[in-house]
Amino acid sequence: MAGSSQFVKELREKTGAGILDCQKALAENDNDVEKAVDYLRQKGLAAAAKKSGRETNQGLIHAYIHMGGKIGVLIEVNCETDFVARNEEFKSFVNDLALQIAASKPQYVKRDDIPKDLLDKERAIYEGQAKEMGKPPAAWPKIVEGKLEKFCQENCLMEQSFIKDPAVTIKDLLAQKIAKIGENMNIRRFTRYQLGEA
């Protein structure tokens, strides 16, 4: 039993999930902590999907200043109730998002926010690059799509790897928090400022 409680403790530290959820995940995965982490992530995504249609009219606007006033982030994250908006876990999550934005410089919250004309411009640049590389024309679409995918991952907050745990994307992190806190949440908008930047 001591080994079992050690596995539960380790799993809780890795995921932040509740004791009963950790025990169930370990039982379903023969006490394999890594498989249990994946199991909990899948359950979190399923729970988040169920809550995604619910209204998010409460939340928090948070300001974060970094590097002695050289970088600043203003972010709005919404949730369903004022109770959750005052919750320390929610506040910590919003602060982590602000840190992510300060460090990783995303331009948009999600892929749908990227203007179509910008995507078209990037696509044209990547097509030109594919031609210059001397690749056969049949390979160009695959090269272009790969570069566009990378562009979206770098510029969309939801698709970036979380700086505190690169194995998790911000989209997955949001789903985990929705499952853990039990309310729908929405990263609404953000602005990143850097001293001297146009």
Using one digit for the tens of pLDDT, what is the confidence trace for 71-120? 999 999 999 888 999 999 999 999 999 999 999 999 999 999 999 999 99
Residues 184 and 86 in one domain: yes
Structural tokens at position 89: 């876990």
What pLDDT does residue 54 have?
Answer: 62
Residues 38 and 75 in one domain: no
The CATH number linked to 71 is 3.30.479.20
Q: Check the CA dihedral 46-56-191-109 and report its sign.
A: positive
Contact 180, 41 (CB under 8 A): no
Show the domain range for 37.
2-51
Residues 13 and 83 in one domain: no
Mean pLDDT over 190-195 rounds to: 94
For the question of whether the overall pTM of this predicted structure is more than 0.85, the answer is no
Residue 72, SS3 per DSSP: strand
Using one digit for the tens of pLDDT, what is the confidence trace for 12-39? 777 666 677 788 888 888 888 888 878 8
Residues 99 and 181 in one domain: yes
What pLDDT does residue 17 have?
Answer: 66
Is the predicted pLDDT of residue 158 greater than 90, yes or no? yes
Beta-strand ranges (E) seen in the chain are 58-66, 71-79, 161-162, 165-169, 185-194
Percent of the chain surpassing pLDDT 70: 88
Percent of the chain surpassing pLDDT 90: 49
Distances (CA, A) of 8 to 23, 36, 101, 111: 6, 10, 32, 37
Residues 98 and 170 in one domain: yes
What pLDDT does residue 104 have?
Answer: 95
What pLDDT does residue 60 have?
Answer: 93
Residues 67 and 78 in one domain: yes
Residues 94 and 72 in one domain: yes
Q: Which residues contact 117 (CB under 8 A, 6 or more apart)?
A: none
Nearest to 161, CA basis, from 169, 152, 173, 151: 169
Residue 183, SS3 per DSSP: coil
Residues 15 and 93 in one domain: no
Task: Give the Cα-Cα-Cα angle 71, 177, 97 (nearest 5 degrees).
Answer: 5
Distances (CA, A) of 69 to 103, 161, 193: 14, 25, 10
What stretches of 86-139 show up as alpha helix (H) in DSSP? 88-104, 116-132
Place of tokens 């995921």: 15
Domain count, the chain: 3
What pLDDT does residue 135 have?
Answer: 80
Residues 119 and 143 in one domain: yes
Residues 105 and 165 in one domain: yes
